[in-house]
A = this chain, B = another copy of it.
Amino acid sequence: MNRTQHRPPDPAVEQADAWSPFEARARFRAGLSGPTAGFAAGHTQANLVSVPADWAYDMLLFCQRNPKPCPVLDVTDAGSWTTVLADGADLRTDLPRYRVWEHGELVEEPTDVVSHWRGDLVSFLIGCSFTFEWALTEAGVPMRHIEQGRNVSMYVTSRQCRPAGRLHGPMVVSMRPVPPQHVATAIRETGLLPAVHGGPVYCGDPGGLGIEDLGRPDFGDPVVPEPDDIPVFWACGVTPQAAVMASRPPFAITHAPGRMFITDARDEQYRVA
């Protein structure tokens, strides 16, 4: 997963920040498959996890019991690939890349899941920290990973989620190095966005979360901090994937990390004040 080099400019995604959500989804449907950070600026991106109906109650309860990593934005009816969050969207085709899981094992990373779809799948769309990065940037907090052209760093922690039925697993966090004078602002601004992970779960020594080496994230890219930066950790929407890995439901589909579903919702509508 880790890419240590900066991404070269890609003409296929030039001005992707100005795309409408509709246009972004159409491009992904046509085969564009890269990360979505910064695409369709101002529009809410979401994590996807789809499980058989037999597992849907456990997943919904897992999300309710772990709202910081798993804030639910929408749940579909069984078999449906539409969502109230995006007019005309098809959840089987409109993400850049998917992951297909069998008994907790990653078996494929296709760019659509039409041939994998099942009539009993219930899809969960879960808030994503890309939304609060907009608020942090607006508030003047530098985003080191964006400055460095990288995906955010994500880590599996030693902190266990509260289990729900057959589902259990560790909390996954994203980390952003924050300059000391911006830490209070970062905490305040993200606290106003509880639907997209809310305030951080931890600041400082990564050992407290069981993270041994910030330079070796479990998902995403390593990000180089500036001197004096404090590592700040937010609960991450990859957590349901970690629960799939740990709990081994017979079948699941998720987005590929960093390749999110772009909704029609506006980021600011999730701000509580």
Residues of A within 8 A of B (CB): 56-57, 60-61, 64-65, 72, 75, 188, 191-192, 194, 198, 272-273
Residues of chain B within 8 A (CB-CB) of A72 are 64
Residues of chain B within 8 A (CB-CB) of A56 are 57
Q: Which of B60, B64, B188, B272 contacts A191 (CB 8 A)?
A: B272
Contact between A64 and B57, CB atoms less than 8 A apart: no
In the complex, how many angstroms separate the beta carbon of A83 from the nearest chain B beta carbon? Answer: 12
Residues of chain B within 8 A (CB-CB) of A272 are 191-192, 194, 198, 272-273
State the CA gap A56–B165 with chains docked (Å). 13
Contact between B60 and A192, CB atoms less than 8 A apart: no
Name 22 interchain pairs, CB-CB below 8 A, sorted by A: A56-B57, A57-B57, A57-B60, A60-B60, A60-B61, A60-B64, A61-B75, A64-B64, A64-B72, A64-B75, A65-B75, A188-B273, A191-B272, A191-B273, A192-B272, A192-B273, A194-B194, A194-B272, A198-B272, A272-B272, A272-B273, A273-B273
Residues of chain B within 8 A (CB-CB) of A61 are 60, 75
Q: Would you list the 4 A-B pairs with minimal beta carbon distance, nearest first?
A: A57-B57, A191-B273, A60-B60, A272-B272
Residues of chain B within 8 A (CB-CB) of A273 are 188, 191-192, 272-273
Residue among A188, A194, A273 having the largest count of chain B Cβ atoms under 10 Å? A273
User: Which residue on B lies nearest to A78, using beta carbons?
Assistant: B165
State the CA gap A191–B269 with chains docked (Å). 12
In the complex, how many angstroms separate the beta carbon of A103 from the nearest chain B beta carbon? Answer: 23
Residues of chain B within 8 A (CB-CB) of A192 are 272-273
Residues of chain B within 8 A (CB-CB) of A64 are 60, 64, 72, 75
In the complex, how many angstroms separate the beta carbon of A210 from the nearest chain B beta carbon? Answer: 23
State the CA gap A273–B190 with chains docked (Å). 10
Residues of chain B within 8 A (CB-CB) of A191 are 272-273
State the CA gap A221–B230 with chains docked (Å). 53
State the CA gap A56–B65 with chains docked (Å). 15
Given A60-B60, A64-B72, 20 more A-B residue pairs with CB atoms under 8 Å apart are A56-B57, A57-B57, A57-B60, A60-B61, A60-B64, A61-B75, A64-B64, A64-B75, A65-B75, A188-B273, A191-B272, A191-B273, A192-B272, A192-B273, A194-B194, A194-B272, A198-B272, A272-B272, A272-B273, A273-B273
